[in-house]
Structure 1
């Protein structure tokens, strides 16, 4: 068995400097010796068997369970080796390649995200522990890609810049109604109400996020402007001046792309604007990684541009702008993982050691995919009318500058009597 595993790893590891220690004490050096050395210890025969059966998921689950450890280097260093050597699953043999192909063919069966299943999927990830999320997120609890305006900018400032950038693209006016699909812990909705006097309705499927968002709205005295509901966006029937969705589309699933954009078209006023911020692929479509699908984001799917644009067109919406954030999420994830690891003891106390190892792998793997793989972030700006926004993109920078001034002044309030969208 060890011979089979080593042959598979040898085919895969053409570059880099990897040392593998097996349960019987044997030591193998793989790669061309370039770069920093990574020492991987495989503790059990069970770990070897499961890695041969399914390289990606087998490694992930054995790492989570402590049957694989990294004695020199870091999990991110190991993942970098995987990316610079190409696709691990295809490189480890025809069986793994066959499994990968089958996963792509059957991906639709893994993403039947009905309202009930969507609620369960959200609960699996977002209702873990608000305290755990507070350990590594910024104070506003932004759990999506930050916007780094310049090198060296800190995470907290970059998350504020992200909200500012999105608000500028929406060009929200005081008193306008805004729908926030997947409103999380409420930060973006509160930002739009506080600084632009928007009337915001946020919808989420997370009980824990909802409780925090509502508490924050009351605490800031913005509950007359911002309403958060535990509700699926598909049940809404009110039209809005603006719609925003950040980090939610990844949970829609390819089966539901058409219904998502058809619902957006239905809810968006004729002169309205939508901003969709989502993880995407710069390459062709692919299946969701087995580890991510099973342990982190059940029902999740990251789309390619080619899968989204035709659906937008068929929904009758106009794509007025698209921006691709390439390395912003890699920087965000780096900051998150540094904070997460700095609070290891607290995470283990809240959950357990296996959870800590699982999430350390998730954060490192995600950073690696954005840094060396094909993951990026798309910001799609949509409208019904081509004239819904100014002719050039200059207005975005102008709006951002106005928002910088507003962030440091008293909140903008709408005319008396204006109610939150029903």
Structure 2
């Protein structure tokens, strides 16, 4: 317990952590500044060393396995909030700085996503039960950042509709135009584009479960004649399109494949076309994917820094014609996901088991707090091969969006 106590004593300044060890003795850390007050019980002596070496991974695993439990009514979000508000102290501790340097050195290996392995990585996350996702997503199954015009009062459903309108406002689509979507999820964006603009959408995805569900949704929406869902790695897609869209896909590409990704987008665009990329990013310098997320949630994934993103577009000869940074929208999104999952936890346990539920709780809480206290945000960029493919002012976006809101209010 000595090494772990030294680590906790050094970095917990805000709030208080009370740790009951495997022998029942209680150790108290922090209390210097106001903050969360959390009590935990470590049931296994092996955790003392494991948590000292790699707290980001082993805390999550211990919670999943029941070897780390919360006391006095605390939830895993409370525990992670305590760590989140003290994260600067954790990352400055010697052993943790060394660990992060090791991860940085291994990141190209961690993020290797050649054809085949990329599909396996995606299916690890997206081919679990669709019914589980229905427990916490909106009615259109949007599994990416929503767009909140009023975070205090809007429902998740409204915010996700806002996102679709906001993204579509940047595309200038007309009936008969062609769109390639890289990473189509459950089909919500492709269906929206076909229904609202009359465009023809070719959407690719490597998850057979998502493809199957997306085809059903397109049929129900009456747009199956204008949307084609293909089980295909984006690198295997051919043809040229007026627009290429990619929402929540670049995060799964991996640092070693950025040029491959952007060169494929360039290849798919017509001479006057342009691409819309919506991606989680970081405002900090390049980093690594956290070990818990990498192992259990998104293997092969990486949230890029803007510097890495633009270095790749520069190498690939693409104009960045527009960029927008959404800072807190994903925090509000994941907060609603986490709260919905908590309300439906018993149903989730019936689909899987208690260990899975604890893993999912840890994941959602950790991601929400990364957008609240960490470096993560979302960026949207427009890319083109020609400098004038996108209008030189943003008026077209604003005009489209206002007209869409007016129609929605009239219909509502």
* Pairwise TM-score range, normalised by the shorter structure: over 0.9
What is the rounded CA distance, in whole Å, between the counterparts of 1:196 and 1:297 in structure 2? 33
Partner of 1:30: 29
Secondary structure of 2:289 counterpart: coil
State the TM-score, normalized to the length of structure 2: 0.95
**The 10-residue stretch of structure 1 (24-33 or 295-304) with the greater mean CA deviation from structure 2:** 24-33
What is the rounded CA distance, in whole Å, between the counterparts of 1:255 and 1:4 in structure 2? 36
**The 10-residue stretch of structure 1 (21-30 or 262-271) with the greater mean CA deviation from structure 2:** 21-30
Determine if contact 1:204/1:229 at 8 Å carries over to the other structure. yes
1:242 is aligned to 2:246: no
Determine if contact 1:55/1:88 at 8 Å carries over to the other structure. no
Where does 1:43-122 land on structure 2 (aligned, <5 Å)? 43-72=43-72, 73-87=74-88, 90-91=91-92, 93-122=93-122
What is the rounded CA distance, in whole Å, between the counterparts of 2:26 and 2:170 in structure 1? 55
Partner of 1:311: 312
Partner of 2:355: 354
Shift of 1:175: 1.1
Partner of 1:417: none
Shift of 1:88: 6.2
What is the rounded CA distance, in whole Å, between the counterparts of 1:245 and 1:321 in structure 2? 15
Q: Structure 1, residues 354-385: CA drift from partner, whole Å, max 9, x if none?
A: 11001100000000000000000010111122
Shift of 1:33: 5.2
What is the rounded CA distance, in whole Å, between the counterparts of 2:364 and 2:91 in structure 1? 23
What is the rounded CA distance, in whole Å, between the counterparts of 1:96 and 1:371 in structure 2? 22
Determine if contact 2:262/2:313 at 8 Å carries over to the other structure. yes
Secondary structure of 2:342 counterpart: helix
What is the rounded CA distance, in whole Å, between the counterparts of 2:140 and 2:410 in structure 1? 18
Aligned residues: 408
Shift of 1:389: 2.5
Unaligned runs of 5+ in 1: 411-422
**The 10-residue stretch of structure 1 (220-229 or 396-405) with the greater mean CA deviation from structure 2:** 396-405
Where does 1:334-373 land on structure 2 (aligned, <5 Å)? 334-373=335-374
Partner of 2:4: 5
Secondary structure of 1:161 counterpart: helix
Determine if contact 1:195/1:403 at 8 Å carries over to the other structure. no
What is the rounded CA distance, in whole Å, between the counterparts of 2:33 and 2:24 in structure 1? 21
Determine if contact 1:261/1:312 at 8 Å carries over to the other structure. yes
Shift of 1:406: 5.6
Partner of 1:186: 187
Shift of 1:69: 1.5
What is the rounded CA distance, in whole Å, between the counterparts of 2:408 and 2:269 in structure 1? 27
Partner of 2:284: 283
Partner of 1:392: 393
Determine if contact 1:325/1:376 at 8 Å carries over to the other structure. yes
What is the rounded CA distance, in whole Å, between the counterparts of 1:409 and 1:172 in structure 2? 22
Q: Structure 1, residues 242-289: CA drift from partner, whole Å, max 9, x if none?
A: 111000110000000001001101101111121100000000011111
Partner of 1:401: 402
Alignment RMSD, CA only? 1.6
Unaligned runs of 5+ in 2: none
Q: 1:33 to 1:386 in 2, by over 3 A?
A: closer
1:159 is aligned to 2:160: yes
State the TM-score, normalized to the length of structure 1: 0.93
Q: 1:78 to 1:253 in 2, by over 3 A?
A: same
